Amino acid sequence: MTRPRKIPLRVCVGCREKKSKKELVRIVKTPENLVELDSTGKKSGRGVYICPNRECLRNASKGNRLEKNLKSRIPPEILEKLHTDIEAMK
């Protein structure tokens, strides 16, 4: 008898819902202090997970949850790039 595989769950910083890791997108602060979208989910650095929709990203940036979890100040132009990257994923 084999055990069923455990599905890794993560919390979205925008809506605070637990979802499977595959449903969410990872935003990472690299060791070079660049904040970017991590499409592979394997880049090194501090990461947070977010639903791939504009509303969750807006909630996360509005409440400073994104900056708090990444432990870094995020300039507005980087936030705008994240918005466009998430829109392009759809």
Stretch (H or E) spanning 58 = helix 54-62
pTM attached to this predicted model: 0.88
> Domains in the chain, ordered, with CATH?
9-89 (3.30.1230.10)
Q: How far apart are CA 81 and CA 87, in angstroms?
A: 10
Answer whether 4's CB lies under 8 Å from 52's CB.
no
pLDDT at 63: 86
52 C-beta neighbours (distance < 10 Å), count: 16
- Reported as a single tens digit per residue, the pLDDT across 69-90 is 999 899 999 999 999 998 887 6
